[in-house]
Amino acid sequence: MKPIGVFGGTFDPIHYGHLRTAFELLQALRFEEVRFIPCGDPPHRGKTFADAAVRFDMVRLAIESQAGFVIDDREIRRGGPSYTIDTLGSLRAEFPERPLGLIVGMDAFLGLPHWHRWAEILDRAHLVVAHRPGWRAPDTGPLGDLIARRGARRVGDLHEAVAGRVYIHAVTQLEISSTEIRELVAARRDPRFLMPDAVRDLIARSHCYGTLETTNL
C-alpha cells in the first residue's frame, strides 16, 4: 500500500524549502499523499511568531493547487504540547493498515534523541530523512546505530511494512529557512520568491512578522 508522508513543522512561515522537499518525496517515494501538520505548541522551542490560525492558513494557501498535498489540523486542535508520538498514534488509529513516513530534515533528525518517547516513533511510522544543506548523516551514537539497524535502501521497503525503517533521501538543496524570512521582514526587506506569493500576501495582510515593506503586492 502506498505510504502517507507526514510532514510536521512550525511552518512559521512555510517556504519553498518545505514545499520542494515534500514534492520531491511525494514523487520519488510514491506517497499516496503528503500531510502537512502545523504544530500547535512546539515543545522544543519558544512560542511561535505567527499564531496557529495564521500558520495554518499559510500552509493551506501554499499547498492548495498541488494534488496529493493535504493539510491536517490535528495538532492545532489537540492543544497542549505537540508531541509527534501522539500525532503518529492518532494517525495510526485512523489508518491502521497504511504505511506512514514521518518526514524530517537532517537537522531535525539529529535532534531526534531529545524528542518525547523518541524510541517509540519507529513503532508507529517509518522515518524519511531529507538531506538539508550542510548536514551529514551520523555514523556513530544512537542515530548511527538506528541507521545501521533500521536503514532501508529501497523505496519498496517503505511500502511493504507499515513502520520501522529509516530512509535517507537527497532532495534539491534550497538554503531557505523560516528564521531568515522573519528576519528579512523585520529588516524591512521583501521575502518575495522564497515562498508562494499567496503566503507573502498573507504575511503582509496579517502583519504577523511586522510590517512587510513592499512596492509590489
11 or 69: CB nearest ligand ATP: 11
41 or 217: CB nearest ligand ATP: 41
21 or 87: CB nearest ligand ATP: 21
Beta strands, E only, the chain: 4-9, 33-38, 69-71, 100-105, 126-130, 166-169
Give the DSSP H or E segment for 19. Answer: helix 16-28
Give the CA-trace dihedral at 12, 195, 20, 140, to 10 degrees.
Answer: -40
Count of C-beta atoms within a 10 Å radius of residue 90: 14
Residue whose C-alpha cell reads 523585520 in the numeric block: 186
134 or 156: CB nearest ligand ATP: 134
Shortest distance, position 156 Cβ to ligand ATP, whole Å: 24
Residues that bind ligand ATP in the complex, under the rule CB under 6 A: 9-12, 17-18, 21, 104-105, 107-108, 130, 132, 174, 176-179
Q: Cis omega (within 30 of 0) on the bond before 196?
A: no
Shortest distance, position 32 Cβ to ligand ATP, whole Å: 20
Shortest distance, position 148 Cβ to ligand ATP, whole Å: 22
Residues 186, 201: Cα–Cα separation, whole Å:
16
Give the side-chain half-sphere CA count within 13 A for 125.
Answer: 26
Shortest distance, position 194 Cβ to ligand ATP, whole Å: 10
Shortest distance, position 160 Cβ to ligand ATP, whole Å: 25
Residues 93, 12: Cα–Cα separation, whole Å:
28
Residue whose C-beta lies closest to ligand ATP: 105
179 or 211: CB nearest ligand ATP: 179
